[in-house]
Amino acid sequence: MSEKVSELSMLEAINETLHSEMARDERIVVLGEDVGRNGGVFRATEGLIEKFGENRVVDTPISEAAIAGSAVGLAMAGLVPVAEIQFLGFSYQAMHQIAGQIARLRYRTQSRFEPQITIRAPFGGGVRTPELHSDSLEAQFANIPGLKIVLPATASDAKGLLTSAIRDPDPVLFLEPLRGYRGIRDLVPDEEHAIPLGEANLVKKGDDIVIISWSYQVELSKRVAESLEEDGVSVAVLDLRSIVPLDVEALTQIVAHCGRAVVVQEAPETGGFASEIIATINDECFWSLEAPVARVSGFDVPYPVGMLENLYVPDEARIRAAVLKTMEEE
């Protein structure tokens, strides 16, 4: 059986998924700033308003609290909101509604209300967007019980995971790497494609060390892993795909197999999700380790603008250095 596929950018895959999900389920309402007439500032929602009309594709005021808050009311009234926060850094304006309302409604209602709410937001650096347009805030949201956090690394996964996110009965924060919108292209199934949330993807097998990552850093990690093969180091790459839920089993299995691990994240180091990964490794398979687990992160500074971001964002050289150093540890 050969599945039909098309080569798409991550952005095209996201756009196609929004089209197909809105066609499948007429309860879905897309809302956000400039998502309608303009098709989204990155074109993620292009063509939706023409196909589904302005009642289901809503241009909102620049009001993040009202966007996230009205998603709650829409869901409670029986619709399925797919909200866009134009940049993840703007979510600070919506933080109360996301953390204080959306994430807690199931708990307050003993699951009588199923908060089928998706919030999409682009994030991450590397495309010269300024601070608050580039910040990687995933760890801040990971500390909010009730919220799922999904971060695709490929176009195919963007389709498969967004499909599942929209259909999921829990609220999902779906984070799209700005660098990946046009910078990542791969083969995407033409037909319906849903990847269960909480299943990590071992994108490259390896025996000596594993690089654990998510979102765009998976792309960098793959390149480093492949280049190190030439140097005789067998490097596995694990794409977590979602940090909540976290695939502890896949994580433990590969770390125990390799005995060495490096975690790569773009966020500042202190309190980043890499720390949680390392704590989980300590809990689950500490005695399999042959070396301390290393982190490659951004720096503990506000996201720097302009050319400085070249130094801030983890690159292949820093990941490679961390892998080699971890390989040398006795």
Partner 1 sequence: MEITDEILIDLYKRMVRVRLFEEEAGRLAESARLPGFLHLYVGEEAVAAGVCGALESQDQITSTHRGHGHLLAKGGDFNRMMAELMGKATGYCNGKGGSMHICDLDLAMLGANGIVGAGVPISVGAAYANKLTGNGLISVSFFGDGATNIGAFHEAANMAAALSLPMLFVCENNEYAEYSPRHKTMAITDVIERAAAYGFPGAIVDGMDCVAVFEAASLAIEKIRGGEGPMMLECKTYRFYDHVGVKGTASDYRTDEEVEEMRKRDPLVVHETRLIESGIMDADSIQAIKDDIQKEVDISVEFADQSPFPELEDMLVDVYTNGESS
Contacting positions for partner 1 (CB under 8 A): 29, 55-56, 58, 60-61, 63-66, 68-79, 81, 96-97, 100-101, 104-114, 145-146, 148, 168-170, 244-245
Alpha helices in 53-201 (DSSP H): 64-76, 95, 105-108, 138-142, 155-167, 178-183
Angle (nearest 5°) at CA 192 between 188 and 196: 90
In the complex with partner 1, which residue's Cβ is closer, 76 or 311?
76
* Helix axes 248-258 and 273-285, enclosed angle (nearest 10): 70
Kindly state the smallest distance separating residue 66's Cβ from partner 1, in Å: 4
Cβ closest to partner 1, residue 171 vs residue 206: 171
Measured from the CB atom, the residue of 16 and 168 that comes closer to partner 1 is 168
Q: How far is the CB of 247 from partner 1 (least distance, A)?
A: 12
Q: Read off φ and ψ for residue 250, nearest 5 degrees.
A: -65, -40
d(CA 170, CA 263): 27
Distance CA 202, CA 250 (A): 8
From the candidates 96, 133, 193, 257, which is the catalytic residue? 133
Kindly tell me which of 56 and 179 has the beta carbon lying closer to partner 1.
56
**Tokens encoding 57:** 């594709």
The yes-or-no answer on residue 133 being catalytic is yes
Alpha-carbon 43 to chain mean position: 18
> Please, what is the minimum distance in Å from the beta carbon of residue 22 to partner 1?
13
Sign of the dihedral defined by the CA atoms of residues 273, 172, 45, 77, in that order: negative
Residue pair 185/38 in contact by the 8 Å Cβ criterion: no
Q: How far is the CB of 170 from partner 1 (least distance, A)?
A: 5
CA distances (Å), 297 to each of 168, 213, 223, 275, in order?
A: 30, 11, 17, 10
Q: Cβ 122 to partner 1, closest distance in Å? A: 21
For residue 57, which phi and psi values (nearest 5 degrees)?
A: -130, 100
User: With contact defined as beta carbons under 8 Å apart, do 267 and 213 qualify?
Assistant: no
* Least spacing, CB of residue 45 vs partner 1, in Å: 17
Measured from the CB atom, is 148 or 320 closer to partner 1?
148
State which residue, 57 or 218, has the beta carbon closest to partner 1.
57
Active site members: 133
